[in-house]
Amino acid sequence: MANFFKENTKKKVNKQSNNIKQSDRVIIDKLDLNGCGVGRYQNKPIFVAGSLPSEVVEVRITAQKNKYTLAKLLNIKKTSDHRVVAQCQHFSVCGGCDLQHLDYEEQLLFKQKKVIELLSRSGISSEQLPWQAPIQSDQWHYRRKARIGVQFDKNTQAIIGFRQKATNQLIAIKSCPVLKKPADDIFPILKALLAKLTVKKAIGHIEVIVADSNNDSVSSLTLVVRQIRPTNTHDRKLWQAYAEKHAWSVRFIENKQAHDIDNEQVDTLANELSYSLQDDIKIYFSNTDFIQINQQANLAMIEQAMAWLSPEPADQVLDLFCGLGNFSLPLAKKVTKVVGVEGIQTMVNKASANAEKNKIDNCQFYQADLNSHWLSDDWAKSNFTKVLLDPARAGAELAVEQLTQLNIASILYVSCEPTTLARDTKLLLDKGYKIIKIGLIDMFSQTKHVETMVLFQR
């Protein structure tokens, strides 16, 4: 490919533009870690979003870099046996899903290969990975919490949906097949409502939450409307009418202040949001709290954690990055003591409240920066027999280093980011631990994201 970077004339710049828009055929060899098809073009990797391995595709070159080429998929000349029709009409432009065009079994295989590749980069061979059957859930209508963006065009017409692929612009959505019902079809209803509002451009986003309820009069579908300016009486009554018609609970957040739609029970809706676990345990949360968005997969994940960790009545278990008590409370039903540790004090308070509401008194929660040195903290001085940790994407490097000093026989690691899992796994293996079991948790079907559970023993 000719180098045009030194060309200065307008005519030659146009020549460069024409060159970039050329089309060509490419054979796709594999998927990269983000689910993008990769082939070879002029002795460099070429990345073609939307393509699959073994496909022959016609592409338009969109960018030439020193080490790779980017291209747009135009036509598929030879189709993969694993290609399926995307169920969502917005799949080609919406940035929410990555793999709807790939057969589900191949999605799972792609995710397992992704974990294997990242572990191999840390020197961990496939022979060290005793894979177990993956945790699966419904492929569609699984997501119980999502943030819907709202933008207004120059005519004050609302665009309601999710970000387009690789941009910050919204794509107008009509329905979303990964959202749980009835949130999946809420978009046209919201568009009709917003068109009638008198305070235009006041809404930043709308969060939808499908949750259990401890009050039969409260809908399981909650909307949290983030306002950059307060709403007025007319608009509030309009929201009220739609809420009654569609059985919503609506909550406004205006200038960081939360209000129920009718202004009668201010700041109480957070206590109404909950989800159920085994043994009649309920986890209560607010819209700002992190929860596992796939309830079916979450229940299966907890069940597998119990089976792999094999809690005994005499065990004392340490639960790091414990959140609201998602693992801590079920574990406490089976052991002598559970200590849950979380970095944010408000989460610690809510986890303690969840234990109290569920009448669980052998579970204590503490606040600590788990990315600092905590071995001298009082809570760390118990005789723990087992550990469970479920960190955020950043992983748990310093926490793992300190755990190895406690000489605990069994460590169960639940990861939402295989890159940091690979780093932390290498630390544990170097300290004398062995991988006993490893398995995928398909928490986010149709996307590139993968969760992994690994059991280590010393």
Q: Provide the annotated active-site residues.
A: 416
Asked whether the beta carbons of 180 and 142 are under 8 A apart, the reply is yes
Burial tier of 28 (Cβ tally within 10 Å: 0-12, 13-18, 19+): buried
Widest CA span in the chain:
80
Give dist(CA 39, CA 44) in Å, integer. Answer: 8
Residue with tokens 């023993």: 457
Give dist(CA 400, CA 373) in Å, integer. Answer: 11
Cα 88–Cα 94–Cα 98 angle in degrees, nearest 5: 75
CA dihedral 288, 373, 386, 363 (to 10 degrees): -50
Asked whether the beta carbons of 378 and 423 are under 8 A apart, the reply is no
- Structure tokens that stand for 72 in this block: 């747009």
- Residue 282 vs residues 220, 244, 328, 387: alpha-carbon distances, Å: 15, 26, 12, 23
From 272, 298, 250, 234, select the one nearest 443 (Cα to Cα). 298
Q: Is 451 helix (H, G, I), strand (E, B) or coil?
A: strand
Give dist(CA 127, CA 79) in Å, integer. Answer: 33
Q: How far apart are the first and last CA of the chain?
A: 55
Asked whether the beta carbons of 454 and 118 are under 8 A apart, the reply is no
Nearby residues of 298 by Cβ (< 8 Å), 6 or more positions away: 275, 292, 326, 443
Burial tier of 283 (Cβ tally within 10 Å: 0-12, 13-18, 19+): buried
Asked whether the beta carbons of 249 and 222 are under 8 A apart, the reply is yes
Q: Is 133 helix (H, G, I), strand (E, B) or coil?
A: coil
- Residue 142 vs residues 304, 328, 342, 444: alpha-carbon distances, Å: 19, 24, 27, 8
Asked whether the beta carbons of 273 and 222 are under 8 A apart, the reply is yes
Residue with tokens 């050329």: 22
